A and B are shown apart, each in its own frame.
Chain A
């Protein structure tokens, strides 16, 4: 196969890789916050169940969760597996990453000094206002480094979608490598991931910098 045709095919796959990446971030970042708030609920049942779900999501392989979300409906309810696998893939990734982001948010929230809540209470801020205006902005700053780690991992983890044969870049690279008995597609895939991650790290560093205008 011509080198450029291979690149073209892999670029098509790269679009899908990007789709997984951005959609997962879009859903998992807010979902993680909801999970955090549920896990801190005063209702013991709610927080207990939420913590259990988090531990399952973090304690089992993402690969397994991908297979469960993609093929589970077929085995359980005989719903045929749709050919468009983007939806189950994004659902599995979003839920899994939400669990990780939830833990990051939780540790960030718990690192906030209690004096911030007390000063806000005395000034008459309501609980939601205290959280949105005073706690959350500082939490975001505090968790940015660990969130960056998680996002960099996500770039690499998108390749796990090959387990359900979703046609993202790694899956396509693997197919070409098999049919051509060539190692080149893997090298190309590696370069793509590396460049993508370099870009992600660069952007995150800029964001971190833009938020470090004050001393904590």
Chain B
């Protein structure tokens, strides 16, 4: 079982989002970056599958040298080798093209990633990769087991889930509870330093670009209603907020 896990490097979920250079650039000052939380689930399940079935886990990141701490962390958690495509991941199609280019040179049984990144939230990279490679793509996947050449999957749908069986190779966009996030052990961190990380140039170019950013308006004050008079809330929701 050879698995390619695609990881994004995103601001920590508690990071304050601000912009600089006249609101044209995300302000990275003081912001910690992490492996995309959904990608982290995909990575955790990939490592479990490797432990169960053998094979290798390769992590792939499209990013600048700044993302290497997240790549090393993925290696420390248990991935065997890493590839970094040296480019800013600014566009979904562009990122998908890089993944497809790497995948075409190797043969992976599974290509796993998060259902979406938590910075741009588009949730389309897995599908574009599937189309470019002529392989089925499924998302959001919340359970994954492998039986020979068949993947047994459950996919979240609105209000429930769907059970599927699919033939490998496959592209999957993953989410919880596919696995629990893994923490690197001390030994993992030590060995990660020696694992191969290959850097390669990007192909093609993006189809979209961001010209400026803005922040949502500040929330007004919260109107407090005493618990003894809780029923008044319903009146306010109906006549003041007009949402009932």
Asked if chains A and B come from one complex, the reply is no
Query: Which residues of A are interface residues toward B (Cβ below 8 A)?
Result: none
